[in-house]
A and B are shown apart, each in its own frame.
Chain A
Amino acid sequence: MSDTHHIRRRTPARRGSRPAAAAVLLSSLFLSGCATFSPDAGMGVVAGVAGETIKKDVISIKTQDDALRADGAVKSLLRRSLTVDSAVQVALLSNRGLQAAYNELALAETDLVADTLPPNPTFSISRISGSGAVEIERQIVGDILALATLPFRSEIARQRFQKVQLRAAEETLRLAADVRRAYYRAVAANELVGLLTDAKSTAESTAQLAGKLGETGSLNKLDQAREQVFYAETTADLATIRQEATSSRERLIRLLGLWDGDVAIKLPQRLPVLPRRPLSLPGIEVDAVTHRIDLQIARIELGALAKSLDLTQASRFVTMIDVAGIDRKTRDPEGPPFRERGFDVQFQIPIYDGGEVRVRQAAETYNQSFNLLTEKAVNVRSEARNAFRVYRSTYDIAGHYQREVLPLRKIISDEMQLRFGSMQVDVFALLTEARQRIAALRAAIEAKRDFWLAQSELQTAVNGGGRGESQPENRSSTTAQASGGGGH
Chain B
Amino acid sequence: MLSRRNFLGTATALAGAAAITGRAQAASIPEAPTMEKVTMQPPLHPTSGPDYNPVVTLNGWTLPWRMNGDWKEFHLVAEPVEREFAEGMKAHLWGYNGQSPGPTIETVEGDKVRIFVTNKLPEHTTVHWHGVILPAGMDGVGGLSQPHIPPGKTFVYEFEMKHSGTFMYHPHSDEMVQMAMGMMGMIVVHPRDKSFRPVDRDFVFIMSSYDIDPGTYLPKVTEMTNFNMWAWNSRVFPGIDPLAVRLGDRVRVRMGNLTMTNHPIHLHGHNFAVSCTDGGWVPESAQWPEVTSDIPVGAIRAFDFTADNPGDWAFHCHKSHHTMNSMGHDVRNLIGVNKKDLAKVLGKLAPDAMVMGTTGGAMGEMEMPMPDNTLPMMTGSGQFGPIEMGGMFTVMKIREGLARDDYKDPGPYDFPKGTVAYEVEAPQSTAPRQVNDKTKAKPAAPQEMKGINMKGMKGMKGM
* Chain A interface residues toward B at CB < 8 A: 198, 201-202, 205-219, 221, 224-225, 228, 231-232, 235-236, 238-239, 242, 415-428, 430-431, 433-434
Contacts and interface: CB of A to CB of B under 8 A. Distances in A.
A221 B118 CA distance: 59
A218 B334 contact: yes
Contacts of B336: 215-218
Contacts of A235: 457, 460-461, 463
B460 A417 contact: no
A221 B332 contact: no
B454 interface: yes
Given A415-B371, A418-B369, A426 B460 contact: no
A249 B460 CA distance: 22
A209 B342 contact: yes
Interface stretch (B90-98, B173-181, B271-279, B442-450): B442-450
B328 A426 contact: yes
Interface string B317-336: 00000000011101111111
A423 B377 contact: yes
A420 B460 contact: no
B215 A212 contact: no
Nearest to A434: B349
A418 to B, nearest CB: 4
A424 B333 CA distance: 13
A209 B452 contact: no
B8 interface: no
A225 B452 contact: yes
A207 B453 CA distance: 9
B380 to A, nearest CB: 15
A202 to B, nearest CB: 4
Contacts of B350: 416-417, 420-421, 430
B420 interface: no
Contacts, number: 151
A417 B353 contact: yes
B447 A238 contact: no
A13 B317 CA distance: 142
Give the bracket for the number of chain B residues in contact with chain A. 35 or more
A163 B208 CA distance: 89
Given A208-B341, A213-B337, A424 B327 contact: yes
Contacts of A231: 457
Interface in B288-331: 326-328, 330-331
A209 B361 CA distance: 18
Interface in B27-46: none
Given A212-B337, A422-B326, A232 B456 contact: yes
Contact of A427 (B342, B351, B370, B446): B342
B221 interface: no
Given A212-B338, A232-B460, A415-B371, A224 B346 contact: no
B451 interface: yes
Interface in B347-366: 348-354, 356-357, 361
A58 to B, nearest CB: 41
Contacts of B452: 210-211, 214, 221, 224-225, 228
B345 interface: yes
Contacts of A218: 332-337
Contacts of B326: 422, 424
Contacts of A421: 350, 352-354, 368-370
Q: Which 5 A-B pairs have the closest CB atoms?
A: A214-B451, A216-B336, A421-B368, A235-B460, A417-B350
25 contacts: A202-B348, A205-B348, A206-B345, A209-B337, A209-B341, A209-B342, A209-B345, A211-B454, A212-B451, A215-B447, A216-B333, A216-B336, A217-B449, A218-B336, A231-B457, A232-B460, A235-B461, A421-B350, A421-B353, A421-B368, A422-B377, A423-B331, A424-B374, A425-B330, A427-B332
B214 interface: yes
B197 interface: no
Contact of B331 (A219, A228, A425): A425
Nearest to A418: B371
Contact of B450 (A214, A228, A427): A214
A218 B334 CA distance: 7
Contacts of A426: 328, 330-332
Describe B's contact surface by its main secondary structure. Answer: loop
B4 interface: no
A242 B463 CA distance: 8
Per DSSP, chain A at the interface is helix
A425 B214 CA distance: 11
B349 A427 contact: yes
Contacts of B386: none
A432 to B, nearest CB: 10
Given A421-B352, A422-B376, A430-B349, A215 B371 contact: no
Contact of B457 (A221, A232, A417, A434): A232
Nearest to A422: B370
A191 B121 CA distance: 57
B344 interface: yes
A236 B369 CA distance: 36
B226 to A, nearest CB: 12
A419 B214 contact: yes
A207 B457 contact: yes
A434 B342 CA distance: 16
A216 B447 CA distance: 8
Given A232-B456, A417-B353, A423-B327, A205 B344 contact: yes
Interface string B427-463: 0000000000000000000110111111011001101
A240 to B, nearest CB: 9
Nearest to B459: A235
Nearest to A207: B454
A236 B460 contact: yes
Most buried by B among A202, A221, A424, A425: A424
B12 to A, nearest CB: 52
Contacts of A433: 349
Contacts of B349: 202, 206, 427, 430-431, 433-434
Given A235-B460, A417-B351, A422-B214, 5 more contacts: A210-B451, A418-B371, A422-B326, A424-B374, A430-B349
Of residues B334, B345, B449, which shows the largest number of chain A Cβ atoms within 10 Å of its Cβ?
B345
Contacts of B374: 422, 424
A219 B450 CA distance: 11
Nearest to B338: A212
Contacts of A221: 451-452
Contacts of B354: 421
B451 A239 contact: no
Contacts of B361: 423
A409 to B, nearest CB: 14
Contacts of B214: 418-419, 422, 424
Interface string B95-109: 000000000000000
A162 B451 CA distance: 75
Contact of A216 (B215, B330, B446, B460): B446
B337 A216 contact: yes
A488 to B, nearest CB: 9
A361 to B, nearest CB: 64
A426 to B, nearest CB: 5
Contacts of A225: 452
A424 B338 contact: no
Contacts of B368: 418, 421-422
A150 B420 CA distance: 122
Given A215-B450, A219-B332, A418 B370 contact: yes
A469 B201 CA distance: 88
B64 to A, nearest CB: 40
Contacts of B334: 213, 218, 427
Given A212-B341, A231-B457, A427 B376 contact: no
B335 to A, nearest CB: 7
B445 to A, nearest CB: 10
Contact of A205 (B345, B449, B450): B345
A427 B334 CA distance: 9
